[in-house]
Each structure stands twice: as C-alpha cells, then as structure tokens.
C-alpha cells in the first residue's frame, strides 16, 4: 500500500470516527442555522426544477406519440374503407395530419432547445456546483471539529513530552482547516441566496419560451385539423349510440339451444327414443321476434320454457348415472321447492340430463333445472 493510499485511508477513518462521536454526543459539532436554512431552500428548489425539466421532456414525447397514433389510425381506417367511399378521404387525410404533427413537434423541440432546455440545464448546473461545494464544506467542518477536539485533548496533557510534540502541528492543521472552512462557508452563504432569488427572472424567460413554442405547435396543428369538420358535416354522430345490431339475438340464436339435452346423449337415457330437431326445440320456447327497433333497445331475456307437464312432486333422486357439471347461462328463480334457483355463471351438478327439465344439485339442494338455461362443461 502506497503512502498516499495509507494516508487517505487514515484520514477517511478519522472523519468517520469524528462523525460517530458527534452523533453520540462525545464530540462538539459546529452548527450553522443560517447555512442549514439556505441549503434546504436550494435543495427544494432544485427538486422542483428537475420535475419541470422531466415534464417538459414528456410533452415532447407526447406530441411524438400523438403523431404515431394518428398515423396508425389512418392506416387502419383506410383498410376498412373502399377508395370510393366518402369516408376514405378523411381517413387518408389523418396520415397527412400525423406527418404535420411530427413536423410541429420537431419545430417545438428546436424552438425550446434555445429558449427553455439550454437555459434550464445551465441553471441546474449551478445547483450541482453548490451541492458539490456543500459536500466539501461538510468535509472541512468534520476535519476542523476533529482537530479542535485533538488540540483540546493535547492541551490537557501538556505536561507530557509526547503531547507537547504533537500540539504544535495539530494546532497548525486546525488553523488551516478552519480558514478553509470559513472561506467556503462565507462563499456559500453569499451564493445560495443569490441562486435562490435568480429563479424568478430566469423562469420568466423559460415560461415565455415554452408558451410561445406551444402556441406555434397548437396553431399549426389546428390549421391542419380545420380541414376535417367539413368532411363529416353531413354525418349525424349521435346515431352511433342507437345503432342496431345486425346479427341474430342471443335469445333466438341456435347457439343458445343445448343440443346435448336429447336422451341420445344421456348415458342412462333411452337411445331408442327419436330425437327432437333444433327447430322443434326452438318452438318450445316462448320467444317471439319483435321489430328491429324494439330488439335493439331492449335487454337480452333468457329463454322461458313451456312446461307442458308439471314436474313430479315430491322429487325423488336418480338411482344411477354418472354426474356431470353444468354452468348456468342465465338467472333462474324456481317457482316451487322442486325447482332449483341459480344465477348466471353458477356451477350445477347434473345427475340426469334428459328432456327439457334436468335433475341437478347446487349448494347441497337437489331439484329440477331447465335444460336451456345451462350448458354442460
């Protein structure tokens, strides 16, 4: 280990030791209330300026994202329309708008680079310099307090020859450290208030630069956007909320019919019994088609079964057959104790899936389940 490295290690150890002594109350510490107050104001102001710098960068990125999103929308919209469609032109025009916004974003970046970004960066550089000088001041204060303590201890032992030898050089070290501390301390007490007050005139220039740059961006973008309203002026945009569905409603769709409720699919069912067709099963429901207007505004209603014969009472559990699981498609409230009640999404154990009414169990209760209200899973 070189002499310089060893000396640096010893100095670092002595400073750490002094900090521990100060924290535990075993050594005096130089306290400066005014310096601590000015330093706190500088730290708080720098944090706010760094957030402003970061958010300004976000504005530029948002403009860039807006251009990219509009370009993607334009591509997708053009793919949806035929070139002869009246809406193809505004869809294609979006691409031109996205290019213009990208150009406006670059123009805003170029304008604010000299009126906002550079001045703010230079100003923040002063905060960085103050911070580094504050760290140097803290180091000098530790050394000054450390040598002050050593001088006091050596003076108490002034009768010893060893103490007399060490006292003079230690006092010289204390003098040098104190002079260095006082000079830097005085400089910081002068500079920190000046830097704190300097933010007021500076931010007048920064605000003006940002406002003028954004005004140019939005004005240019608005001019390009002004071409769009006439292209869609003839379209009533309020009709979209009442636009009717064109596919078969859920309640009348063949997909809502459980084709596996036929006895041929039941392990315990009579496979010799002829099966009903899907059209015959649809006719057993009470659904009746209404006009397209009423179907668009009404809510979806589950199929209501026509029970031609009442379920047997009392209910007798099946003697055999494999259990199956089914999921409820709609809410159902049983009319009597023999019918199960359930909510859409509930899981039901099916003991027998045969005919319109199946035999099932939910939450420990067994009873009849309308087959078209559930599906096997």
In the chain, the domains with their CATH numbers are: 10-231 (1.20.1270.60), 242-376 (2.30.30.40)
Q: How far apart are CA 153 and CA 28, in angstroms?
A: 13
Dihedral angle computed from the Cα positions of residues 284, 285, 287 and 289, in that order, rounded to the nearest 10 degrees? -30
Q: How far apart are CA 367 and CA 360, in angstroms?
A: 6
Start-to-end C-alpha separation, the chain: 77
Q: Each residue of 50-91: pLDDT tens digit?
A: 999 999 999 999 999 999 999 999 999 999 999 898 889 999
The contacts of residue 285 (CB under 8 Å, 6+ apart) are: 303, 304, 305, 306, 372
pLDDT confidence of residue 14: 54
Closest CA to 208 of 119, 123, 124: 119
pLDDT confidence of residue 163: 72
Q: How far apart are CA 197 and CA 308, in angstroms?
A: 90
pLDDT confidence of residue 54: 96
Residue 358, phi then psi, degrees to nearest 5 = -95, 160
Q: What is the DSSP string of 336-359?
A: STTB--B-TT-EEEEEE--SSEEE
Angle at 309 between CA 306 and CA 315, to 5 degrees: 115
- Kindly report the pTM of this predicted structure: 0.57
Question: Maximum Cα–Cα distance for the chain, whole Å?
Answer: 124
Q: How far apart are CA 127 and CA 135, in angstroms?
A: 12
CA atoms within 13 A on the CB side of 159: 1
| Two structure tokens written together for 150 | 């050593």
pLDDT confidence of residue 282: 47
pLDDT confidence of residue 299: 42
The contacts of residue 146 (CB under 8 Å, 6+ apart) are: 14, 15, 18, 27
Count of positions (residues) in the chain: 377
Strand pairing partners for 332?
342
Q: Ramachandran region of residue 374, left (φ > 0), alpha (ψ -120 to 50) or beta?
A: beta
Q: In angstroms, what CA-CA distances link 204 with 36, 45, 124, 222, 324? A: 28, 16, 16, 27, 76
Q: What is the DSSP string of 230-293?
A: HHTTTS-GGGGGGPPP-SPPGGG-GGGS-GGGSGGG-TTS-TTSPPPPHHHHHHTB------HH
**Strands, E assignment, the chain:** 324-328, 347-352, 357-362, 365-370, 374-376
pLDDT confidence of residue 10: 54
Residues of the chain with pLDDT under 70: 1-30, 158-160, 267-322
Please check whether residue 363 is in contact with residue 348, taking contact to mean a CB–CB distance below 8 angstroms: no
Q: How far apart are CA 57 and CA 54, in angstroms?
A: 5
């Amino acid at each position: 280990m070189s002499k310089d490295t060893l000396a640096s290690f010893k100095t670092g150890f002595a400073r750490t030791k002094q900090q521990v002594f100060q924290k535990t109350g075993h050594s005096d510490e130089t306290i400066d209330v005014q310096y601590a107050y000015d330093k706190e104001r500088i730290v708080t102001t720098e944090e706010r300026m760094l957030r402003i710098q970061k958010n300004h960068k976000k504005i530029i990125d948002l403009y860039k994202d807006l251009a990219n999103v509009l370009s993607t929308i334009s591509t997708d919209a053009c793919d949806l329309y035929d070139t002869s469609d009246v809406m193809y032109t505004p869809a294609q025009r979006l691409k031109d708008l996205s290019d213009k916004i990208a150009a406006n974003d670059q123009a805003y970046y170029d304008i604010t680079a000299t009126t906002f970004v550079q001045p703010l960066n230079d100003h923040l550089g002063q905060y960085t310099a103050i911070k580094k000088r504050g760290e140097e001041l803290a180091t000098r204060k530790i050394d000054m307090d450390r040598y002050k303590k050593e001088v006091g201890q050596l003076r108490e032992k002034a009768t010893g020859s060893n103490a007399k030898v060490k006292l003079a050089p230690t006092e010289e070290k204390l003098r040098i450290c104190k002079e260095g501390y006082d000079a830097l301390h005085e400089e910081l007490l002068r500079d920190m208030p000046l830097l704190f007050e300097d933010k007021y005139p500076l931010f007048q220039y920064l605000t003006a630069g940002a406002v003028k740059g954004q005004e140019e961006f939005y004005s240019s973008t608005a001019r390009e956007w002004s071409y769009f309203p006439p292209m869609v002026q003839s379209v009533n945009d309020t009709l979209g909320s009442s636009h009717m569905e064109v596919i078969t409603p859920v309640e009348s769709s063949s997909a809502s019919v459980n084709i596996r409720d036929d006895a041929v699919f039941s392990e315990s069912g009579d496979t010799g019994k002829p099966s009903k067709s899907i059209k015959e099963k649809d006719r057993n429901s009470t659904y009746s088609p209404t006009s397209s207007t009423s179907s668009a505004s009404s809510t979806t209603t589950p199929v209501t079964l026509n029970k031609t014969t009442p379920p047997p009472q009392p209910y007798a559990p099946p003697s055999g057959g494999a259990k199956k699981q089914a999921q409820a498609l709609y809410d159902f409230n049983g009319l009597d104790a023999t019918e199960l009640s359930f909510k859409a999404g509930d899981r039901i154990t099916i003991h027998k899936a045969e005919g319109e009414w199946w035999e099932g169990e939910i939450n420990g209760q067994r009873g009849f389940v309308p087959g078209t209200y559930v599906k096997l899973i």
